[in-house]
Structure 1
Amino acid sequence: MDTENFQTDELCQIVVLVNKRGLHARAAAKLVQAAAQFKAEVFVACGDMRVSGQSIMGLMMLAAPCGTRIRLCASGSEAAQTLDFLADLVRRGFDEE
């Protein structure tokens, strides 16, 4: 698990997409729903593109297939818990298999 701190209040983790279809619509919806459970602002980055973790369309625009490394970032009072939960969801392949 790689953890990065880009801003004083933003924490990030890099995870690899392991589900067969990558960050497709259903996976993006699960990530958005999971992020909404926490008091944190979430962003997801892939390459040079960074989008809101609250936007299914934004996440789908990343066009991230299986095997892609994505960066999950969160800020706010529950940033650490949010990252742990989201990173675990990604590592479990969004519970698709």
Structure 2
Amino acid sequence: MVEQTMKITAADGLHARPATAMVQVAGQYQSDVNLEYKDKSVNLKSIMGVMSLGIPNDADIKLTADGEDEKEALEAVVNKVKEEGLGE
């Protein structure tokens, strides 16, 4: 399993459009990809799960991936977060 912590820096937090982009990227991989915020973990391949977390600006999140393509999956999701201007 691989993991990375990031800070959400977007003024609106993690809202629907960028969350959808993250879900689409995670869905391209075989590995289990999860998003954790405030001790709650959801499958990053589920838009409903991601949106249920209500992640605001300045939140610390943890991304994890576990499976045969875990490194590639995590790297792709982290890059999408940065590309969407969501966080660092």
Structure 2 length-normalised TM: 0.87
Give the counterpart of 2:74 among 83, 88, 92: 83
Aligned residue-pair number: 86
Gaps of 5+ in 2: none
Partner of residue 20, structure 2: 29
Gaps of 5+ in 1: 1-9
Q: Percent identity over the alignment?
A: 31
Q: Could you tell me how far apart the structure 2 residues matched to 1:28 and 1:54 are? A: 10
> After the TM superposition, which residues 29-68 of structure 1 pair with which residues of structure 2 at under 5 Å, given as runs?
29-68=20-59
Structure possessing the higher radius of gyration over alpha carbons: 1
In proportion to residue count, which structure has more strand?
A: 1
Aligned CA-pair RMSD: 1.5
Q: Could you tell me how far apart the structure 1 residues matched to 2:7 and 2:79 are? A: 11
Structure 1 length-normalised TM: 0.80
Q: Cα distance, 1:85 vs. partner?
A: 1.3
Segments of 4+ moved more than 2 angstroms: none
Identify which of structures 1 and 2 has the higher relative contact order when contacts are C-alpha pairs closer than 8 Å and 6+ apart.
2
